[in-house]
Amino acid sequence: MNLIKSIPAAWQDAVTGLASEPKIAELEKFLCAEVAEHAVFPPPQSWFFALETLPPDDVKVVILGQDPYHGAGEAHGLAFSVPKGVKTPPSLRNIWQELAQDQGITAPPHGNLAGWAAQGVLLLNTAFSVRADCAGSHGKQGWDLISNALIEYLSRTQSNIVFLLWGAHAQKRAKLIDAHRHCIMQSAHPSPLSAYRGFFGCAHFSQANAYLQLHQKTPIDWANA
């Protein structure tokens, strides 16, 4: 297993410095054992799906999640998203509820957010894998070296990206982002445990589009998930 070489070519400049990091070698060893002994979601070929579909130059918005869904068939490499035909998870239902309040958008009959990714929304988890039915099980094994490097790279090489940081876990990454070059929006997490503490009513979707338009970028059609 070579995680760094598995990252899509368009993102290699962000991670080449990690190839010799001992923590990456430890992560690879850990993941090899996990895949051999347990069900791991999403499957390894989908770990970097969010990066495969969206090169750095095309990123307009970053929505930062924590780790993939840990139920069978749910995770497919895009944060907060599930494949078509899979029941929409609670956090995503709350995202649609906020979109309805913010922009009058009706939720689609599925939870697949690939349509957002196609428009420039990077749906990035800070950990790229999880053991089945064990939330957060891979979160402290070294994935953050990669996700942090990707965020830093975007901050350094791009301009006028909107970073949506929902919840304390995502907000810890604010220090990696140049607030003079980009727009950082923070709120509570859309989880049912916290959405009422400030996610509902945050209007991040309309504000993100206003910022993009201000900087001569095409806004996101949030209804086209």
pLDDT tens across the length of the chain (225 residues): 899 999 999 999 999 999 899 999 999 999 999 999 999 999 999 999 999 989 999 999 999 999 999 999 999 999 999 999 999 999 999 999 999 999 999 989 999 999 999 999 999 999 999 999 998 899 889 999 999 999 999 999 999 999 999 999 999 999 999 999 999 999 999 999 999 999 999 999 999 999 999 999 999 999 999
- Domain assignment of residue 197, yes or no: yes
What pLDDT was estimated at residue 92?
A: 96
- Domain assignment of residue 90, yes or no: yes
- Domain assignment of residue 151, yes or no: yes
**89: cis peptide before it, omega within 30°?**
no
What pLDDT was estimated at residue 52?
A: 96
- Domain assignment of residue 176, yes or no: yes
Please give the tally of structural domains in the chain: 1
- Domain assignment of residue 144, yes or no: yes
Q: Collapse the DSSP code of 61 into the 3-class scheme (helix H, G, I; strand E, B; otherwise coil) and give the result.
A: strand
What pLDDT was estimated at residue 1?
A: 82
- Domain assignment of residue 15, yes or no: yes
Taking the chain, what is the end-to-end CA distance rounded to the nearest angstrom? Answer: 33
Q: Is-contact 144 120, C-beta < 8 A?
A: no
Which CATH number belongs to the domain containing residue 112 in this structure?
A: 3.40.470.10
What whole-number distance in Å separates Cα of residue 139 and Cα of residue 170?
13
Query: Residue 166: enclosing H or E segment and its boundaries?
Result: strand 162-166
E runs forming strands in 7-138: 40-41, 61-65, 121-125, 130-131
Catalytic positions, written as ranges: 67
- Domain assignment of residue 171, yes or no: yes
- Domain assignment of residue 225, yes or no: no
Domain that holds residue 37: 4-215
